């Protein structure tokens, strides 16, 4: 017997074709059945249908977040001239006061849930921020971040500190985030990769985010390390005058690329580098609004799609994005792709997949049913109060989904319900007598 049945004009399972006038039956934390309302099995007909005019989707997967920086929202509403300009503003705000990272992460998780996200790829820099995802009844991975480690600092306590951190009791799956290969010596990155593999955990890193990054890997140009002051002269690639490799090739040389790694941003990659990512089965979480705020170039979205990449989507943090609404980034990706010349008819489907099943694959969670609506899978879903013209439901989601999530269910529990606050939302209960025979 289902405890709850949700219905809408459309259900987009992602794992199968969209369904018109359909329902999702939830039992505990799992999906018991989904399909057209008219075909609802007899055993479910004693349960009233909680119907909303709109579209039901799987819970969204935000493949790149830093929820602990949710208090830095003034930065995310600004505009910067590049990664270095933004970094100066970030460091100034970071040092200005004592921050309550745990409270900020909890607030960020709440904001994400309110916009349909139920799975987070969360980078943890401060231990206070751990546990926010599980406390919000969401799912995902907490990637413990390692940043600004040279060979000396790593062997003189940095490694030991991470080992201890990894051993602390966690409320959710743990991963490792080498922040970026440019602020970690090569031996540190290689060690982090080995630690992850030996423990069977995943990796997540920033790659191809700064326009100055490639020159560092190629020639040891220290410009990308300017915020580290004198420490930059200690980095191996600075002393060795680089590696002669471009960004993706360098990351591959230290073992960072692979199926158990996904990267954030991927802005400054040529075709050879994108091909290498695809060959290594390394997925990219595209963060278009964060890139725009920071002042980066637009990622080659059309190329990623045309070349067959299985992309994901991330908001990044409120320190570099106006909101944690993943559908705003999906809409931005559509606009960029079309501007870059992408004209294939699968655009809307590919981008809905990127925000759901693509993100789940990036986190290694798709085999457990996340990012899709399937019988027996997690009862994670979102409802968007949008109008659909004809049968273009995925296009409607991409173009109208931002700000229109009215209900979020995570692990079978309602974690956000904004329907009563919006008088224009048509919501009603369909009793047994109203259901199809």
Q: Rounded to whole angstroms, what are the CA distances from 353 to 51, 106, 149, 159, 335?
A: 24, 27, 36, 37, 16
Query: What's residue 437's pLDDT?
Result: 37
Query: What's residue 420's pLDDT?
Result: 77
| Nearest by Cα to 396 from 54, 7, 113, 52 | 54
Query: What's residue 435's pLDDT?
Result: 47
For the residues 268-289, what does the mean pLDDT come to? 99
Query: What's residue 425's pLDDT?
Result: 52
Options 3.40.250.10, 2.10.109.10, 2.30.40.10, 3.10.310.30; which CATH number does 4-58+372-434 get? 2.30.40.10
pLDDT in tens, 318-356: 999 999 999 999 999 999 999 999 999 999 999 999 999
What mean pLDDT is reported for the chain? 96
User: What residue segments make up the domains of the chain, in order of their start?
Assistant: 4-58+372-434, 60-368
Query: What's residue 430's pLDDT?
Result: 60
The answer to whether residue 295 scores a pLDDT higher than 70 is: yes
Which of the four pLDDT bands, split at 50, 70 and 90, describes residue 429? low
For the residues 256-282, what does the mean pLDDT come to? 99
For the residues 202-231, what does the mean pLDDT come to? 96
Which of the four pLDDT bands, split at 50, 70 and 90, describes residue 431? low
C-alpha span between 358 and 188 (Å, rounded)? 29
Which of the four pLDDT bands, split at 50, 70 and 90, describes residue 422? low
Helix 186-199 and helix 159-167, axial crossing angle in degrees, nearest 10? 20
| Nearest by Cα to 194 from 182, 184, 203, 185 | 203
pLDDT in tens, 71-128: 999 999 999 999 999 999 999 999 988 899 999 999 999 999 999 999 999 999 999 9
CATH 3.40.50.620 applies to domain 60-368? no
Query: What's residue 436's pLDDT?
Result: 42
């Amino acid at each position: 017997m289902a405890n709850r049945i949700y219905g809408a004009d459309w259900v987009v399972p992602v794992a199968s074709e969209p369904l018109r006038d359909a329902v999702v039956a939830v039992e505990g934390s799992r999906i018991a059945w989904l399909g057209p309302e008219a075909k609802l099995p007899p055993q479910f007909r004693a349960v009233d249908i909680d119907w909303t005019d709109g579209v039901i989707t799987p819970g969204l997967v935000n493949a790149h977040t830093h929820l602990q920086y949710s208090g830095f929202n003034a930065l995310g509403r600004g505009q910067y001239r590049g990664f270095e300009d933004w970094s100066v503003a970030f460091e100034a705000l970071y040092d200005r006061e004592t921050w309550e990272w745990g409270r900020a992460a909890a607030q960020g998780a709440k904001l994400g849930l309110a916009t349909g996200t139920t799975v987070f790829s969360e980078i943890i820099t401060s231990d206070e921020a751990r546990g926010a995802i599980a406390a919000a009844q969401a799912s995902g991975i907490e990637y413990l971040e390692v940043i600004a480690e040279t060979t000396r600092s790593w062997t003189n306590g940095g490694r030991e500190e991470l080992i201890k951190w990894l051993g602390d009791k966690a409320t959710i799956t743990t991963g490792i985030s080498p922040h970026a290969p440019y602020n970690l010596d090569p031996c540190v990155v290689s060690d982090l990769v080995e630690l992850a593999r030996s423990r069977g955990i995943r990796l997540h890193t920033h790659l191809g985010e700064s326009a100055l990054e490639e020159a560092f890997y190629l020639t040891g140009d220290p410009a990308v390390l300017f915020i580290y002051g004198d420490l930059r002269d200690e980095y191996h690639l600075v002393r060795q005058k680089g590696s002669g490799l471009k960004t993706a090739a360098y990351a591959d040389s230290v073992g960072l690329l692979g199926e158990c790694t996904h990267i954030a941003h991927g802005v400054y990659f040529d075709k050879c580098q994108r091909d290498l990512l695809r060959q290594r089965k390394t997925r990219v979480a595209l963060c278009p609004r964060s890139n725009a705020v920071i002042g980066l170039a637009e990622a080659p979205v059309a190329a990623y799609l045309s070349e067959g990449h299985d992309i994901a989507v991330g908001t990044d943090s409120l320190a570099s994005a106006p909101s944690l609404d993943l559908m705003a980034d999906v809409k931005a990706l559509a606009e960029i792709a079309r501007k870059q010349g992408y004209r294939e008819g699968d655009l809307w489907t590919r981008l809905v997949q990127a925000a759901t099943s693509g993100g789940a694959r990036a986190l290694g969670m798709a085999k457990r049913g996340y990012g899709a609506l399937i019988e027996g899978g997690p009862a994670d879903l979102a409802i968007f109060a949008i109008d659909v013209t004809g049968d273009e439901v995925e296009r409607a989601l991409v173009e109208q989904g931002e700000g229109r999530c009215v209900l979020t269910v995570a692990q079978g529990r309602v974690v956000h319900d904004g329907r009563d606050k919006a008088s224009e939302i048509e919501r009603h209960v369909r009793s047994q007598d109203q259901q199809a025979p």
